[in-house]
C-alpha cells in the first residue's frame, strides 16, 4: 500500500498522456476544480487488477477463465474510491494525490464514475482469457493482401445489400409492410418503392446495431447529484453491460432474434444500383408509364400475366360503358329542359315532355 501512496504522490498530469479529466466540485459551498489524469494512463500506472487476472468480454476472470469473485468492475471501482478517500496527509503529495482525495470525499458519485473508467481501461489492458471448448482454427496458408481484403469486403457488402432487398420485396409483396399486399398487375413507381425499402431496411439495421453494440442503449447514466442513486445507476449499467457479453454472445442473440422475427442476418441499406438490379430480377424489368419508371406486380397465382384480360371482362366493361353513357345523356337532356324555363316530366317511352302539353 505504501508503494501505491508513493506512486500517487509523485503523479503529475502531464501533456501527451491522454485526455485529463476535469471536474468542478462544491466543497463546503466553495467551487473547487480538480484535474485528474487520463483514466488509461492511471490504469497503466497503478495496475489495479494486477497481472494474474484475465478478461472475457466485459468480465474480469481468473487466469484459467473461471469466475473471479470480488473482481467485478464495480467491486474494484468501489475499492479504489475507498482507498482514495482514505489517503493520508503527505507534505510531498502532488496535485493528483490531493485531487483524488478531494473528489472521493466531496463527491463520491463523480469519484465512482472516474474509478469505473480507470478499471475499464485496466480491464481492457488484460490478456484475454482462454476460450474453453473451441476447436482450433484452421491453419492459415498465407496472409491476404490489402487488395484481396477490400475485394472480399465489397463482395460481402453487395451480398448483404442484395439479401436485404430480397427480404424487403418478399415481405412487401406479402403485405408485411402495409395494410394489404399489392394486387397483381398493379403499377408501382420505382423511386417510391426504393424509398420504402430504405425505411424498412434501416429499421432492421438499427435493431442489428443495437443488439451487437457492447454498450447498453442510452449509454452511461447521467449524474443527478444524489450519490446513492448515481452509484445504483452505475452498478445497474455495468450489470447490463456485463450481461451483453462478448461479441460471440451478442451475435448468437442476434441470430436467434433475426430468425424469430424473419429479419436478414446482415441487414444493410442498399445502394441505388443494387436495389434496382435486384428488384428488376425479382419483379421483372421496369417499364415507363406516364413518364415515370414503374414496376408491374407479377401474378404468381397460376401463370396468368398481370395485364391479361378475359373476353368476359371485356364484355362487362363495354356494358358498363354503355350504361354510363346513357346516364350522362339523360342528365344532359334533363338539364337542358330545366334551363329553358318550362315544367317537364318523363313520358312512358323515356322521353321528356312539357307538363303543359300533357294537360292539353
Task: Give the containing element (helix H, strand E) for 74.
Answer: helix 73-85
Q: Give CA–CA dist 198/175, Å, rounded.
A: 17
Mean pLDDT (the chain, rounded): 78
282-292 burial code (b ≥16 CB/10 A, e <16): ebeebeeeeee
CA nearest 73: which of 240, 225, 299?
240
- pLDDT at residue 96 greater than cutoff 90: no
Distances (CA, A) of 241 to 56, 79, 118, 155, 245: 13, 20, 16, 33, 7
- Phi/psi class of residue 49: alpha, beta or left (left: φ > 0; alpha: ψ in -120 to 50)? alpha
Contact 71, 60 (CB under 8 A): yes
Query: What are the grid coordinates assigned to 321, written together?
Result: 360503358
Q: Which comes out higher in pLDDT, residue 49 or 132?
A: 49
Cell of 243: 450481461
* pTM for the structure as a whole: 0.46
Region for residue 341 given its phi and psi (left: phi exceeds 0; alpha: psi -120 to 50; beta: otherwise) = left
| CA proximity to 230, closest of 81, 99, 111, 343 | 111
The tens digit of pLDDT for each residue in 43-64 reads: 888 888 877 888 887 788 888 8
pLDDT digits (tens, 9 = 90+) for 175-185: 888 888 898 88
pLDDT tens string 185-228: 899 999 999 999 999 999 999 999 888 888 787 777 787 877 77
Amino acid at each position: 500500500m505504501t508503494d501505491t501512496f508513493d506512486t500517487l504522490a509523485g503523479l503529475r498530469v502531464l501533456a501527451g498522456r491522454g485526455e485529463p479529466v476535469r471536474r468542478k466540485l462544491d466543497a463546503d459551498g466553495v467551487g473547487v476544480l480538480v484535474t485528474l489524469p487520463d483514466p488509461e494512463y492511471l490504469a497503466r500506472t497503478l495496475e489495479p487488477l494486477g497481472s494474474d487476472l484475465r478478461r472475457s468480454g466485459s468480465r474480469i476472470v481468473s487466469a484459467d477463465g473461471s469466475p473471479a469473485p470480488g473482481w467485478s468492475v464495480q467491486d474494484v471501482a468501489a475499492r479504489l474510491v475507498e482507498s482514495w478517500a482514505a489517503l493520508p496527509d503527505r507534505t510531498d503529495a502532488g496535485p493528483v494525490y490531493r485531487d483524488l482525495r478531494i473528489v472521493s470525499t466531496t463527491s463520491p458519485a463523480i469519484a465512482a464514475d472516474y474509478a469505473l473508467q480507470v478499471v475499464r481501461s485496466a480491464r481492457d489492458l488484460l490478456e484475454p482469457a482462454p476460450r474453453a471448448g473451441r476447436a482450433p482454427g484452421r491453419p492459415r496458408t498465407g496472409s491476404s493482401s490489402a487488395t484481396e481484403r477490400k475485394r472480399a469486403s465489397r463482395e460481402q457488402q453487395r451480398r448483404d445489400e442484395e439479401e436485404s432487398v430480397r427480404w424487403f420485396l418478399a415481405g412487401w409483396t406479402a403485405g408485411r409492410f402495409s395494410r394489404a399486399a399489392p394486387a397483381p398487375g398493379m403499377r408501382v413507381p420505382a423511386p417510391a418503392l426504393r424509398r420504402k425499402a430504405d425505411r424498412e431496411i434501416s429499421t432492421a439495421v438499427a435493431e442489428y446495431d443495437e443488439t451487437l453494440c457492447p454498450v447498453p442503449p442510452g449509454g452511461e447514466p447521467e449524474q443527478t447529484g444524489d450519490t446513492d442513486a448515481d452509484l445504483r445507476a452505475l452498478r445497474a449499467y455495468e450489470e447490463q453491460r456485463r450481461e451483453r457479453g462478448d461479441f460471440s454472445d451478442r451475435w448468437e442473440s442476434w441470430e436467434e432474434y433475426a430468425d424469430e422475427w424473419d429479419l436478414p442476418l446482415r441487414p444493410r441499406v442498399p445502394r441505388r444500383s443494387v436495389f434496382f438490379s435486384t428488384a428488376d430480377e425479382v419483379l421483372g424489368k421496369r417499364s415507363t408509364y406516364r413518364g415515370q419508371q414503374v414496376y408491374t406486380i407479377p401474378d404468381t397465382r397460376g401463370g396468368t400475366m398481370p395485364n391479361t384480360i378475359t373476353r368476359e371482362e371485356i364484355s362487362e366493361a363495354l356494358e358498363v360503358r354503355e350504361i354510363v353513357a346513357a346516364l350522362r345523356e339523360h342528365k344532359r337532356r334533363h338539364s337542358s329542359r330545366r334551363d329553358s324555363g318550362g315544367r317537364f316530366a318523363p313520358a312512358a317511352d323515356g322521353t321528356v315532355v312539357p307538363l303543359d302539353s300533357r294537360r292539353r
